[in-house]
Structure 1
Amino acid sequence: MDPVAMMTRTAARFRCLLLVGASLMPLLVSAAGFTELEKMTERGFQVSAEARLLGDGDRPGEVVGAIEPQRQLSPASVSKAYLAAAALDRWGPQHRFTTRLVSSGELDADGVLRGDLIFEGGGDPALVTEDLWRLAQRLYQAGVREIEGGLVVSQWRFGPVECITTDRCDARSRAANSYSALLSSAGVNYGNWCVNVAPGAAVGEPARVTSCDSQALILGIDNQVETRATGTATEFSAERVTREEGDVMLLRGHIALNAASRDVYRASGDPARQTARTLAAVLDQAGIGIGDGYATSVEPPPASARTLAEVEGESLQELLLHVMNYSNNFMADVLALNLVDAPRATLLQAGEAIQDYVAGLPDHGPVIMLSGSGLTTENRTSASGANALLESMFHRASLFPGFVASFQSPSNGVSRFIRRGSPLVQERIMLKTGTLNQPYAVRAASGYFRARSGRWGVFTALVNGTASTPWLNWAQVLDPLTQDLERMIEAH
C-alpha cells in the first residue's frame, strides 16, 4: 500500500478510537497519589499518569495514583518498551539474526570464486565491523582467496527504508549527528561512519584522520582541522555530506597538540553502501581480492546460491539491553521492521505490526505506533495502556526476566539523569524514559516498582508540552514523579 494512504488509514483509525475512548472516560480523573506531578498541569502541560499495584496471590490489583490515565499522549522512546514486548512475544529471548555470504559461482582449485559474492543482510540491528571480520575469516577458511565477480550487498528484506521524520529525511544528504541513521536490513555499525581525529605531528599541520574500521580510509575526508599549541582548547565540528563520489566527512576546527584522539560518529547516507565499502576493505585486509568492485541490491540472492560463510548476532535479550538502556533508534526501528513478514517492509508496516500485538493485550485501549523507536511525536498511548503492557509481561514467566532486565535502575543505570530521588526510590524502581524536543517537548517514564511490602507495581507518566508551554527538562518531571513514587512505595 502507498505509504501516504497507510498513514491516512492509520490516522483515521486513531481518530475513531479517540472518539470512542473520549465517550467512555470521565472528564477528569483524580490526581490521588500524584500530588507533586499534578502541578505540571497547572503550568499548561498535558499529563497522563497512573501507578498500580499488581495482583499478588489472593490480593487483586489496585490503582494507587492517577492523572487522566486514559488520555492519549506521545510516549517518545517509551515506545521501545512496546517494541521489546512485541519482539519477545514473536521470537523469544534467545533468538539470533543471521548474516550470510552466499554465491552461485563455483570455487575452483586455486580459491577463485567464479561469480559474485553476495552479502545477504539478515536484519541484525547490532551487526558491527567485528562481525564482518568473522565473516571474512570464515570465507577464508572455506578456501576463497579471490572473487572473480563483484561484492553485492543485498537488502531485499528492507531498505532503503522511506523516512518519516525530518532528521532521517535530512540524513539522506547530510548529517551532523549519529541518531538519525537511515535503515536497512544490511546495515552495519548502527548506520554510522566512524573516523578517529588525532593531532598532527606539529603545530600548524592538519589533524590526522583515520578510519575506525579499517586501515585504509573508506569514505571521503575533507579535513580542515588544524593542530594548535599544547594546552590550547580543542574545538572541531564534523558533518557527513553526500556528494557525487559518495559520503564525505567534513571536519572543521582545531585540536591541541597534546589532545587525546577522538572517535567521531555520523550517520551514513546509504547504510547498505556503507556495508559494501566496509566489507570490501575487510576482505582486502584478509587477502581476499574482489575483481569487479561492489554494488547494492534490493533483490534476494538467486535460489541456486549456497552459503559460504555466516555469522549469528547477539541474542534478542542482549539486543534489548542496548535498545532500551541506550535508547538506540537505529536498532529499535530495524527490530520493528523485522516484525513485518513481507519483504520491502516500511516503518508504517512495522508500526502496525506492533499495534497488532497490542490489540491482543487485555484492557489496553487505543494505541498508535508509527515507529518502534518513538522518534516521532505521532506515536500515541495512555498511562493506563502502557501499564497494561507492563502488567501483561509481568505475568509471562518465560519472557519477563528478559523484558524487565532491559529497564534501567536509577541507582546503577547507564543514564545519569535518572539518578534522582531518595536512595529508597532509586533502588526500588526500574524504568524506561522517553525524550523529544520538537515540535514540542515530551518527557515520559514507564516501568516497575517494588513496594515496602515486596509487592510489584507498575507506573507510567507521560508529560507533553504544547507550542505555548515553557521549556521542559528532566528535573521538572523526575523530581515530582520520584517524590510521588516514594510515598506510594512507603505506603504499601
Structure 2
Amino acid sequence: MHMKYSALSSYVLLVFLAFLLTEATAQKPLSRMRVVATPTPTVAPTPTITPTALPATTLKPEIKPSPTQYHQPQIQTLDELQTKIRQILQRESLKRSRIGIKILSLDTGKTLFEEDAEKFFMPASNMKNFTVAAALEKLTPNFTFITSVYATEKPDSQGILKGDLIIYGRGDPTIAYGIDDKDEIKGLEKLVERIIATGIKKIEGNIIGDESFFTGTAVPYTWEWEDLQWYYGAPISALTINDNAAKILITPASKVGAPATIQLLPPESGLVIINNTETSEENLPRKIVINRKLGTNILIISGSIAKNAKPFESFVSIPNPAMTFVSILRSLLEKHGVVITGKTEVLDSEARKSNPLPKNLLEVARLESPPLSLIAQKTMKPSQNLYTELILRAMGENILLEDYKPEWNSADKGIAIVDKFLNEIGVSPGSVLMYDGSGLSRHNLVTPNAIATLYAFMANKSKSSKQWLESLTVAGVDGTLSSRFKGTIAERNVRGKTGTINQVSSLSGYVNSMSGEKFAFSIIINNAPDQAIRVSTIDEIVLLLANFAGKTN
C-alpha cells in the first residue's frame, strides 16, 4: 500500500481491537463455539437496545464530523475510488478468499463499483435483511403477535374453571429479556395478571401449552449440531419464553478443590446439570467447558474457576420452550393462589392432528406484543436469530398464499412469501436461496446484487422505509456496529446489517459521501479464516465511500 493510505489502514487496524469485543457479545449468535472458556466474554441473549436519537428518515449524519476525521484521505473522482477498492481486493491476504461487492448511488441509480455481484455467497446474518424487510412490507410495521388464553367456558361465580386452560401461542418473541426487564419471569407476569383478572381461582383441568400454530421442526434441518446447545441456536416454538435460553451462573467455592456452585435460571428450563467443576487457586485463568450431547437435556459442566473470580455466566438453549413457558406460568398462577388440579402438558401441531382444539373455545385473556416496528429493531440491531425465525413463520401463517402447497410447513410458507416479495421489487429470480430466516444455516446463498437492490427499494420506494431505517444498527452507536467506525466520518453515518459465521463476514447498508450523495452497499467475504482481515477489509472499503468527495453523475 502507498504511504498516503497508511493513516486509513492504521485506523482500521486499531478500530478492529475495539470491534472484537462487540462482535463477541452482540454478533456471537452466529459464531461457532465449542467451549466456554477464558477469554470468552459473558454474553446476554439479547441486549436491550436504547433507540437511537438519529432522525429516522434521513441518511445524513446527525452531527458534523470533527476536523480530525478529515485527516483521512479524501477521494475526488470515481476512478480514484474504484482504483483504491481494487487495490484492497488485490492484497496477498485475500488471495484465497471470495469477495462480492455491490455499491450503488441512491440519488442517481448508478453503480459505483461491483465485484462478483451476481455470484453466490454465504450471507451469514445478512439473510435477516430479506426476512425483516419482507415482514415490514407484508405484515406492516403495526403487526402484533397475539398469545391467547382459551377455555371451553367462563369461570363460575366461585371462580372455578371446569376444564382445561389452554395457552395458545403465535410466536410472540417479546416475552423475553430483550423487550422487558432482564427478569426470568417478568415477561409472563403480564399474562398472569390478565388471567387473574378473569376471576379464575381454581382450574379443574390441565394447563396446556399449545404451540400448534407453527408447523415443522423446532430446529431447521440445515443448522449445525454444535450451534444447537447455545442460545443463538435455540429451538423455535410458537410459545417462546426468555429467548428460549437459560442462564448458567457459575460461582467459585470458598475452598480450593471444591466444586463450584452452578445455578440454572429459570429452574423450569428442563435441563439437568452434571457438575464436574472445581475451584482453583486464586488468579488462575478460568477454564470452563459446557457440553450438551445432541438430543438430550443433560448439561455436563467441567473445568475450573479461580477462588477469587467473579461469577461466570453463559446462556444455553432450552430443550422444550413451550413446556418451560407453561411450567413458569403455572408456578406464577399458584403463587397468586390459583389452584390447578390437573397436569401441565404441551401439544404441538403433530399432536393436534389426533387431538384437535375444541370448537367451542372462548378467549378469556390475551397478551399482545409491541408492534413489529419495535421488534424489527430488537431483531436487526443485535442480530437475534430466534426472533427472525419467529417473524418468518409468522409471515407464513398470517399471509394468504395463492400457490400454497399442502406439504409446506410454516417456514416453507414464510420463505415463499419472502421470495414473492423479492420478485416484486426487482431482485433477480433465483439470486436468493433461503434455507432459514436468520442466516445461521450454512446452506443460504445470496448475491450482493440482491441485497443492494433490496436496500435501494427499502430506502426509495418502501412504505415502511422509516421503520426499516430505524431497525438498522448505527455505526459507533448501537448493535453490532457499536464499536466500529468510531472517530471517523462513518460514525453515525453508516447504518446497516452485519453478518458473521466461521469464514464469513458481511456488511450491507447505507452511507453518505462527503459530497452528500447517498450510497447503498453490500460487501460479503467468504472463505477467509481470519476474522480480523475480513472486518478490516470491509471497514476500509466503507470508509472510502464515506470519504468520497466527488459525484457519480
2:315 is aligned to 265
1:19 is aligned to none
Listed as ranges, the matches of 1:445-456 within 5 Å are 445-456=507-518
Q: Quote how far apart the aligned CAs of 1:340 are.
A: 0.8
Question: 8 Å contact 1:118–1:301 — kept in the other structure?
Answer: no
SS of structure 1 residue aligned to 2:173: coil
Q: Quote how far apart the aligned CAs of 1:50 are.
A: 1.4
SS of structure 2 residue aligned to 1:425: coil
1:351 is aligned to 415
2:43 is aligned to none
What is the identity, as a one-letter code, of the residue corresponding to 2:122?
S
Q: Quote how far apart the aligned CAs of 1:321 are.
A: 1.4
Question: 8 Å contact 2:195–2:364 — kept in the other structure?
Answer: yes
1:308 paired with 2:364, answer: yes
1:109 paired with 2:157, answer: yes
Cα distance in 2 for residues equivalent to 1:262 and 1:472: 26
What is the identity, as a one-letter code, of the residue corresponding to 1:149?
G
1:189 to 242, 250, 263: 242
Question: 8 Å contact 2:139–2:395 — kept in the other structure?
Answer: no
Identity %: 21
What is the identity, as a one-letter code, of the residue corresponding to 2:144?
R
2:97 to 33, 45, 63: 45
Listed as ranges, the matches of 1:55-70 within 5 Å are 55=107, 60-70=108-118
Q: Quote how far apart the aligned CAs of 1:152 are.
A: 1.0
2:520 is aligned to 458
Q: Quote how far apart the aligned CAs of 1:160 are.
A: 5.5
* 1:183-226 Cα deviation digits (max 9, x unpaired): 11112122212243334466555434444336x78643323334
Q: Quote how far apart the aligned CAs of 1:103 are.
A: 1.2
CA gap of 1:80–1:263, structure 2 versus 1, over 3 A, is: same
SS of structure 1 residue aligned to 2:232: coil
* 1:21-42 Cα deviation digits (max 9, x unpaired): xxxxxxxxx9666324422696
Cα distance in 2 for residues equivalent to 1:153 and 1:169: 27
1:75 paired with 2:131, answer: no
Q: Quote how far apart the aligned CAs of 1:345 are.
A: 2.8
Q: For structure 2, which runs of at least 5 residues remain unmatched after alignment? A: 1-80, 177-184, 399-405
1:371 paired with 2:371, answer: no
1:392 paired with 2:437, answer: no
Q: TM-score, normalised by structure 2?
A: 0.73
Cα distance in 1 for residues equivalent to 2:269 and 2:111: 58
Q: Quote how far apart the aligned CAs of 1:232 are.
A: 4.9
- Give the alignment's Cα RMSD to 1 decimal: 3.0
Q: Which moved more, 1:258-267 or 1:442-451?
A: 258-267
What is the identity, as a one-letter code, of the residue corresponding to 1:442?
V
1:87 is aligned to 135
1:34 is aligned to 85
Q: Quote how far apart the aligned CAs of 1:472 are.
A: 4.6
* 1:383-428 Cα deviation digits (max 9, x unpaired): 2221111111112464111111221222212336861486112332
SS of structure 2 residue aligned to 1:371: coil
What is the identity, as a one-letter code, of the residue corresponding to 2:444?
N
Q: Quote how far apart the aligned CAs of 1:64 are.
A: 1.6
What is the identity, as a one-letter code, of the residue corresponding to 2:500?
T
1:207 to 260, 265, 269: 260
1:153 is aligned to 209
What is the identity, as a one-letter code, of the residue corresponding to 2:506?
A
1:478 paired with 2:534, answer: no
Q: Which moved more, 1:231-240 or 1:102-111?
A: 231-240
1:236 paired with 2:294, answer: no
Question: 8 Å contact 2:481–2:498 — kept in the other structure?
Answer: no
CA gap of 1:66–1:122, structure 2 versus 1, over 3 A, is: same
CA gap of 1:392–1:185, structure 2 versus 1, over 3 A, is: same
1:444 to 506, 520, 526: 506
SS of structure 2 residue aligned to 1:254: strand
1:282 paired with 2:332, answer: yes
* 1:268-313 Cα deviation digits (max 9, x unpaired): 2222223233323333333323322211112364231212222111
CA gap of 1:45–1:371, structure 2 versus 1, over 3 A, is: same
CA gap of 1:301–1:170, structure 2 versus 1, over 3 A, is: farther
Question: 8 Å contact 1:429–1:447 — kept in the other structure?
Answer: yes
Cα distance in 2 for residues equivalent to 1:242 and 1:314: 35
What is the identity, as a one-letter code, of the residue corresponding to 2:477?
N
What is the identity, as a one-letter code, of the residue corresponding to 2:519?
G
Question: 8 Å contact 1:86–1:354 — kept in the other structure?
Answer: yes
CA gap of 1:387–1:454, structure 2 versus 1, over 3 A, is: same
SS of structure 2 residue aligned to 1:462: strand
1:222 paired with 2:274, answer: yes
Q: Which moved more, 1:233-242 or 1:394-403?
A: 233-242
Q: Quote how far apart the aligned CAs of 1:156 are.
A: 1.2
* 1:153-192 Cα deviation digits (max 9, x unpaired): 1111115625445546567xxx542111111111212221
Q: Quote how far apart the aligned CAs of 1:485 are.
A: 2.0
* 1:306-327 Cα deviation digits (max 9, x unpaired): 1222211122121111211111
SS of structure 2 residue aligned to 1:323: helix
CA gap of 1:177–1:490, structure 2 versus 1, over 3 A, is: farther
CA gap of 1:109–1:252, structure 2 versus 1, over 3 A, is: farther
Q: Which moved more, 1:394-403 or 1:75-84?
A: 394-403
SS of structure 1 residue aligned to 2:479: coil
Q: Which moved more, 1:257-266 or 1:81-90?
A: 257-266
Q: TM-score, normalised by structure 1?
A: 0.81
Q: Which moved more, 1:137-146 or 1:154-163?
A: 154-163
1:249 to 291, 299, 306: 299
Question: 8 Å contact 1:111–1:146 — kept in the other structure?
Answer: yes
Q: For structure 1, which runs of at least 5 residues remain unmatched after alignment? A: 1-29
CA gap of 1:284–1:195, structure 2 versus 1, over 3 A, is: farther
Cα distance in 2 for residues equivalent to 1:471 and 1:163: 29
Cα distance in 2 for residues equivalent to 1:36 and 1:79: 28
Q: Which moved more, 1:159-168 or 1:391-400?
A: 159-168
* 1:339-377 Cα deviation digits (max 9, x unpaired): 113898343333222111101012545322221111123
SS of structure 1 residue aligned to 2:471: coil
SS of structure 1 residue aligned to 2:477: coil
Question: 8 Å contact 1:139–1:309 — kept in the other structure?
Answer: yes
1:296 paired with 2:362, answer: no
